[in-house]
Structure 1
Amino acid sequence: MTNSGYTLPVFACAAAVAALHWLRQRQALTFSSVDLITPAEIADIPIEQVAGISKNSALAITRSDPGDNLDLTKNTPIWAMVTWYEGDGERVIIQGGEGIGKQLNNDGKAAIYGYAENLLTENLQRLLAPGEKIIVTIILPQGRSLAVRTSNSAFGVVEGLSLLGTTGISQPLSTPDQLTAFRDDLKEKASQFKSLVFCIGENGLDLARKLGINPQQLVKTANWLGPLLVEAHLLGVQEILLFGYHGKLMKLAGGIFHTHHHLADGRREILAAHCAIASLPCSHIHTVFYSPTAEAALKHLRHLDSTTGSNWTNQIYSSIVETIDHRAQEYIKSHSNREINTTVCGSVVFDRDRQIITSSKTGCMLMEKLC
């Protein structure tokens, strides 16, 4: 049976509860009970250490456990420092310390989102006496180093990780149980529509809705693109639009159909190969290959176009999306022995600002039908 574990905000809340308990009782908890709110259940989280920092401050440490999910935060320490304060303001003020990312598109605000804020506020307010107020600082000592292994910077979060999610239960997107759930969703939608849109994550789903695509035709795939492409074909889906962030979706152009970074990457190799195919000068291919992220490589190409009047970005990304279509249909054909016409695949890729970079020819056709 799959162990789902809990999301990062739950462990941050557990540490904060333990730190507040120390301030009030001068006792160290070995477990913190956290009301998850969503779902409506209580989680008992082990606490590794609690210490008083001063008369008015305490620090507690716990450790992330996302269950069977292939999550880079597994076993990472989470610290919470709680400090009494007096004056005007909310009863619970939540702020990000070292290792919590900053939102570039929100004046550098800490990347602590709605569910995390609500979880911390609800659980901590219940423990406060009338008139008491606290400042809670969440610290991820390894957050800055772990962040470089994510695509956070592609979506405007820098210098650390985010406290995000809409539930306290970790969704193991890379486990067979989750693939079963995705397949069930696909089966339901395939029974209603012959054209579907595959989105790897929430950014794609959100942008697709904003562009006017029917939400009922959207299928979340997480990293399971390969199995779900084959499943859709076997279910009789005639057309699939692959709609995603370029740093993820371009992996398909290299024949990588399970896109989790723990299993395979190849983005810079794919980008550099298509740069070479387009005859980009060697010095710029070198820059693209050694760019720290796909987004940085894209920025270099766009800067080159703007300063020289060239059209490298469109040439290179057009080559990539056409290859995505070709490789996707090859994958379906090679993994299915059903003698029916192969499902038509088209692709659309967007950047960190959720602006579409380009679409394949088939992707353009499908977008016109779907929007």
Structure 2
Amino acid sequence: MRRTLRSGFTTGACAAAAAKGAALMLREQRRRDQAELTLPTGCKATFVLNGQHFDDERAACFVIKDAGDDPDVTHGVAIHAQVSLVQSEGDILIDGGTGIGRVTKPGLAVPVGEWAINPVPRRMIREAVLEVFPSLPARLIPRVTLSIPDGEQRAAKTLNARLGILGGLSILGTTGVVRPISHQAWTDTLEVALDVARAADCARVVLSTGRTSEQAAQAALNGREEAYIMMGDFTAYTLDACHRKGFAGVILSAQFAKLVKIACGEDHTHVRNARLDLAQLADWARTLGLDGTLIKKIEFANTAREVFVELGANHPLVDAVARRALSWISRRIPGADPGLLLVGYDGREARRFGSTWLFAEGTVP
């Protein structure tokens, strides 16, 4: 029996809880071990506070993020908040510190130069702290400073640097809750990466299904780093997003097994249904009138990779797969100029298909 997967909390929710806990200790001048927070969904959650300390001028604590059963580089991270009261205009100041990234490229949810604390977490922090300090003397306002001691090291395992977030992690989340094994983290990242590419005036983007195919594309094509988007298995979603955002062309970089799935019209190129892919490949081989012995080899192969190694990159069946993949891409993003970069299992470019630009130009515009 499959166990029920456990939900967790976003970095934004943890930051807001830590800020509320620090605000309560500053106001009450006593230790607090927990803080209750109302999430954007309307639900309430209680967070354990750690590292509490306070005096007359400031208070601080941290919340350890529990991402539930969702694999996440931020799982277990300690999100610190310090709250003080300062002379300033407005109703609250929210700053970053050690391990919080800064935005250096346009196209993200916050402007260039700002701390990478997204709008919903900012609102959650503001509401939580102002709940504790609903009124203060004139020109006296709360100041919240967030930090993550190992944020810069953890950020090195993310796409933050490519997106233009330098120096640490982002404080993210729209609901406060992380759903286990959710696709939303991927699709949210894809949306942001495409927005950054648009803001950098990239007319085309290079989509890759994994790190190997991305590295091959970077070696084969000149272009700004913003143009390279690692979409993983989310082929249909990414192409639809490219269409929504008005890109003039897409280059898709993939190895043969993923290309077969795209040619089969699969919206999501996970490894499931590999046998069905091979059956379809055998049918295409029959349509081409290929040798019966080869068709049998395809039918009894273990993987599409095995078929590719047998055929080689220049085989007519590889051409047929590429044509079908290009046709499917064209239907997802009509009016664009699609191209394919086929990557061999040695990690290097094997062939190019489609877009005349891909053959005529050397730089991704």
TM-score by length of 2: 0.58
SS in 2 for 1:320: strand
Q: For residues 173 and 261 of structure 2, what CA distance do their matches in structure 1 show? A: 32
Equivalence for 2:90: 90
Higher relative contact order (CA 8 A, sep 6+): 2
Q: For residues 61 and 276 of structure 2, what CA distance do their matches in structure 1 show? A: 53
CA contact (8 A) 2:49 2:62 kept: yes
- Report the CA distance between 1:337 and its aligned residue: 7.1
Which of 269, 275, 278 matches 1:335? Answer: 275
Tell me if 1:8 matches 2:11: yes
- Report the CA distance between 1:55 and its aligned residue: 2.4
Q: CA RMSD in A?
A: 4.2
- Report the CA distance between 1:100 and its aligned residue: 0.7
- Report the CA distance between 1:339 and its aligned residue: 6.1
Q: For residues 149 and 207 of structure 1, what CA distance do their matches in structure 2 show? A: 16
Tell me if 1:150 matches 2:155: no
Tell me if 1:67 matches 2:68: yes
SS in 2 for 1:80: strand
Q: For residues 5 and 201 of structure 1, what CA distance do their matches in structure 2 show? A: 18
Could you tell me which amino acid in structure 2 is paired with residue 162 of structure 1?
A: S
Which of 256, 259, 268 matches 1:325? Answer: 259
Equivalence for 2:33: 30
CA contact (8 A) 1:345 1:363 kept: no
- Report the CA distance between 1:61 and its aligned residue: 1.4
Equivalence for 1:81: 82
- Report the CA distance between 1:123 and its aligned residue: 1.4
Equivalence for 2:187: 201
Equivalence for 1:359: 339
- Report the CA distance between 1:359 and its aligned residue: 3.2
Tell me if 1:107 matches 2:112: yes
Tell me if 1:135 matches 2:138: no
CA contact (8 A) 1:102 1:159 kept: yes
> 5+ residue gaps in structure 1?
183-198, 212-242, 252-264, 285-293, 299-316, 349-355, 366-371
> 5+ residue gaps in structure 2?
106-110, 198-203, 229-249, 265-270, 285-320, 330-335, 341-351, 357-365
CA contact (8 A) 1:200 1:244 kept: no
Q: For residues 116 and 168 of structure 1, what CA distance do their matches in structure 2 show? A: 8
What is the correspondence of 1:182-193 to structure 2 with a 5 Å cutoff? none
Identity %: 22
Equivalence for 2:56: 55
CA contact (8 A) 1:204 1:244 kept: no
Could you tell me which amino acid in structure 1 is paired with residue 65 of structure 2?
A: S
CA contact (8 A) 1:18 1:28 kept: no
Q: For residues 127 and 154 of structure 1, what CA distance do their matches in structure 2 show? A: 38
Which of 342, 345, 350 matches 2:325? Answer: 345
Q: For residues 66 and 159 of structure 1, what CA distance do their matches in structure 2 show? A: 22
- Report the CA distance between 1:322 and its aligned residue: 7.7
Tell me if 1:162 matches 2:167: no
Equivalence for 1:41: 43
CA contact (8 A) 2:252 2:339 kept: no
In our comparison, the structure showing a higher alpha carbon Rg is 2
Change (3 A) 1:66 1:332: closer
CA contact (8 A) 2:102 2:116 kept: yes
Could you tell me which amino acid in structure 1 is paired with residue 47 of structure 2?
A: I
CA contact (8 A) 2:213 2:253 kept: no
TM-score by length of 1: 0.57
Equivalence for 2:310: none
CA contact (8 A) 1:58 1:83 kept: yes
- Report the CA distance between 1:17 and its aligned residue: 1.0
- Report the CA distance between 1:16 and its aligned residue: 0.9
CA contact (8 A) 1:321 1:359 kept: no
Change (3 A) 1:345 1:146: same
